[in-house]
Amino acid sequence: MRQYLIAGNWKMNTDPVEAAELAAEIAALLSARPPDDNVSVALCPPFTSLVSAGAKLKESKALLGAQNCHHEAAGAFTGEIAAPMLAALGCTYVILGHSERRRYCGESDSDIRQKIAAAMAAGLTPIYCVGETLEERQAEQTLTVIERQLRRGLDSIALPDASRLVVAYEPVWAIGSGLAASAEQAQEVHAFIRAELGAMYGEKSESILLLYGGSMKASNAPALLAKPDVNGGLIGGASLDANTFVAIAQACGS
Ligand code: PEP
């Protein structure tokens, strides 16, 4: 049976009280109208809201994730958060390589590669984000950019099994713009990512979950999620509304 993951990236939104309220609302909706068993759900609040949101997910189907981590496990890195700290808080996932971090924090593919290694060593599953800018798409460089990000970001990263890595295709021009990729555009890139992962990891890569991210909402989710290589979504803005987020989870397999 096809597996799906719907993950909410709350970005720099929600203080601990707001995060607890939103997580509780999502948990209640998931228990009242559960998505199918083959659909996993994750919420990725800011670091400061992981504890309060996580407490509301204890009895729920939803798992907890973070939005970044440092590449070292501990040490003199003032202001940073290490992957083992996230694991100790009950995180299952960590988003790495998001285009906002590439753009605003100058993260390179090789910085991200180190973070992926650290996350895996701590037992977390990285949600590795890749995607092209509008200029790159217009210059027909999309697949070249994705290939580079995959090859560099995953260079020498061993994959024990497919459940230990999630890849999110997030075209930069679609993030927060209200203009999602079409289902056909998403499928084309996802099929390419699937083939690249196959070349890197062989047969076990076939069940790595590939998420689409970029202005996914309840209205466009069914078409995107119906594509054979789209195994879920990384949802930004729409994950801050409990009803919309759960509706997207329910669209999996519909
Ligand atoms: C994101 O930033 O990961 C994202 C997908 O954002 P949005 O859904 O708001 O486009």
CB 81 within 8 A of CB 49: no
pLDDT of residue 95: 98
pLDDT of residue 253: 80
pLDDT of residue 59: 87
Which atom of ligand 1 is least distant from the CA of 9? 3
Q: Can 98 be counted among the known catalytic residues? A: yes
Question: CA-CA distances (angstroms) from residue 143 to 99, 149, 169, 217?
Answer: 16, 10, 11, 25
Which atom of ligand 1 is least distant from the CA of 238? 8
Domain ranges of the chain: 4-250
4-250: CATH, from 1.10.10.10, 3.30.420.40, 3.40.50.720, 3.20.20.70:
3.20.20.70
One digit per residue, pLDDT tens: the chain, 254 residues?
889 999 999 999 999 999 999 999 999 999 999 999 999 999 999 999 999 999 999 989 999 999 999 999 999 999 999 999 999 999 999 999 999 999 999 999 999 999 999 999 999 999 999 999 999 999 999 999 999 999 999 999 999 999 999 999 999 999 999 999 999 999 999 999 999 999 999 999 999 999 999 999 999 999 999 999 999 999 999 999 999 999 999 999 86
Between vectors from CA 185 to CA 213 and to CA 97, what angle results, nearest 5°? 35
CB 107 within 8 A of CB 101: yes
pLDDT of residue 45: 98
236 lines ligand 1 (CB under 6 A): yes
CA separation for the pair 156, 147 (Å, rounded): 15
Among 235, 239, 240, name the best residue to mutate to test ligand 1's pocket (greatest count of ligand atoms within 8 A of Cβ). Answer: 235
215 lines ligand 1 (CB under 6 A): yes
234 lines ligand 1 (CB under 6 A): yes
Q: Catalytic: which of 70, 71, 98, 190?
A: 98
Smallest Cα–Cα separation from 129: which of 151, 97, 152, 163? 97
27 lines ligand 1 (CB under 6 A): no
Centre of ligand 1 from the C-alpha of residue 208, in Å: 21
216 lines ligand 1 (CB under 6 A): yes
Q: What is the DSSP letter of 162?
A: G
Centre of ligand 1 from the C-alpha of residue 236, in Å: 3
pLDDT of residue 171: 98
Centre of ligand 1 from the C-alpha of residue 4, in Å: 18
The tokens describing 251, both together, are: 């669209």
pLDDT of residue 213: 98
Centre of ligand 1 from the C-alpha of residue 76, in Å: 32
Q: Catalytic: which of 100, 132, 136, 170?
A: 170
CA separation for the pair 141, 138 (Å, rounded): 7
The tokens describing 31, both together, are: 């228990």
175 lines ligand 1 (CB under 6 A): yes
